Amino acid sequence: MSNSSNPSDKLEDALLRLTQQQSSMTAKIDELLMRLPPLFHHTPSSTTSSQPSPSPASVHKMKLDVPRFDGSDPSGWIFKINQFFEYHDTPAHERLTIALFYMEGRALAWFQWMTSNGQLTSWPVFLQALQTRFAPSQYKDPTGALFKLTQKSTVNAYLAEFEDLANHVVGLPAPFLLRCFISGLSLEIRRDVQAMQPLTLSQAAGFARLQEDKLLDVHPSLRPRPPYPPSPTPSRNPPSLQ
């Protein structure tokens, strides 16, 4: 009678049970991995898609142009060139060299002479020298001219003169400039503007234009008339004899 408990059969049964247990364990591990949050899933796409955001310094600024300076309107040109340099964060020691390329005509000749004689030692010195050289003579005492300014024609013309002078005055408080503007208006307009009690110069200018329009509606004859074309000059040739 043969023995059924052969050692080889027992070994095969043990290997089969071990293989089944390993398969079951692998299935359980796969199931646990599927339940993990997405944060723990490391995929190649997650590493390539996360790019650092560009820093503010890497953003390119818009290219701006500064008009050339030929000696006219020095205050306006100084304001624009200063804003240009501030926008581009231009170092102070580079501004004189860059400003050279925006000068022409008489201003360029003056710049060359001042540079060759060592007069332009810094950017503030250059600005002061340019203002002194090219500013109109009527702006030598802009504060006094501003106090004496009065409305001679329209409100817009008076406002333009007032702004030109005020741009050359530094340090005057806004309420003082407001009173100065109102006091220079014509008598008919000044009374009504004072009654409205404006708080800013722009409000006073708007009220003044409004009162001017009302006056012109009441008195249409005060409106400025467009210039008429010159009448043709009659011919002085003698009549031809027939």
pLDDT digits (tens, 9 = 90+) for 168-203: 776 778 898 999 999 999 999 999 999 999 999 999
How deeply is 205 buried, as exposed, middle or buried, from its count of CB atoms within 10 A (0-12, 13-18, 19+)?
Answer: buried
Torsion (CA) 195, 200, 206, 207 in degrees, nearest 10: 0
How deeply is 130 buried, as exposed, middle or buried, from its count of CB atoms within 10 A (0-12, 13-18, 19+)?
Answer: buried
CA separation for the pair 139, 145 (Å, rounded):
8
Q: What is the SS3 assignment for 184?
A: coil
What digits encode the pLDDT tens for the residues 63-115? 777 789 998 888 889 888 989 999 889 999 999 999 999 999 999 999 999 99
| Model pTM above 0.75 | no
Quickly state the pLDDT bin for 40 (edges 50, 70, 90): very low
Specify the higher pLDDT residue, 180 or 35. 180
Specify the higher pLDDT residue, 36 or 200. 200
pLDDT at 46: 46
Backbone dihedral region for residue 71 (phi beyond 0: left; psi -120 to 50: alpha; all else: beta): left
Which range, of 24-33, 66-75, 92-101, 219-228, averages the lowest pLDDT? 219-228
Can you list the positions of beta strands (E) in the chain?
A: none
What percentage of the chain has pLDDT greater than the value 90?
32
Q: Are 212 and 155 in contact (CB under 8 A)?
A: yes
pLDDT at 47: 47
Quickly state the pLDDT bin for 48 (edges 50, 70, 90): very low
Q: Are 132 and 168 in contact (CB under 8 A)?
A: no
pLDDT at 52: 55
Q: What are the contacts of 80-85 at 24+ separation with CB within 8 A?
A: none
- What is the Cβ-side half-sphere exposure of residue 158, based on CA atoms within 13 angstroms? 25
pLDDT at 36: 58
How is the chain split into domains, by residue range?
A: 74-135, 142-221
CA separation for the pair 166, 172 (Å, rounded):
9
**What's the rounded mean pLDDT across residues 216-239?**
59
Tell me the C-alpha to C-alpha distance, in Å, between residue 7 and each of 16, 19, 132.
Answer: 14, 19, 116
